[in-house]
Amino acid sequence: MADEITNGSAALGAQLSLQKLYIKDVSFEAPGAPQIFQDQGQPQIQLNLAQQVGTLAENVYEVVLTVTVTCKLAEKTAYLAEVQQAGVFGLSGFDNTNRDAVLATYCPNVLFPYARQVVSDLIQNGGFPAFLMQPINFESLYAEQARRRAEGATPNA
């Protein structure tokens, strides 16, 4: 979808540039260590994603992708890893709809591999088995959010 948006807007002179990638915030907690390493059981992993878009200047946006991974053994938290991976993106020549779609799909797709690597390193460096985060379909998430907004805007008959 982002390719279609970018390619469709290219004829209109739309431009997209990645100006900066950086970690805005990072946190790792293992509240039960070292005793948690002795516990047996099937870990329960919860993954939460969030993203924020802020305007830095005309046609310049900061996109922050927050990835939070919580692992529990029984009722005890084994670890909690959170990364805010950010990027500064320049976008010009897009109409509002396409700009919003690029910021919500293409930009998080750029940030995700970096966030995934940081989360993986944090968990392994915390003494836990490797965690491989599966790819995320940001286009599908954006489409679902748009559908929900449209349903919420539709008056009930």
pLDDT of residue 9 exceeding 50, the answer is no
| Cβ atoms < 10 Å from Cβ of 32 | 15
Domain ranges (residues) in the chain: 2-153
pLDDT tens-digit readout, 99-156: 999 999 999 999 999 999 999 999 999 999 989 999 999 999 999 988 998 888 665 5
- Using the predicted structure, report yes or no on whether residue 31 has a pLDDT greater than 50: yes
- 50 phi and psi angles, rounded to 5 deg: -150, 155
The arrangement of secondary structure in 2-153, i.e. its CATH architecture, is: Roll (3.10)
**Is the bond preceding 34 in cis, omega lying within 30 degrees of 0?**
yes
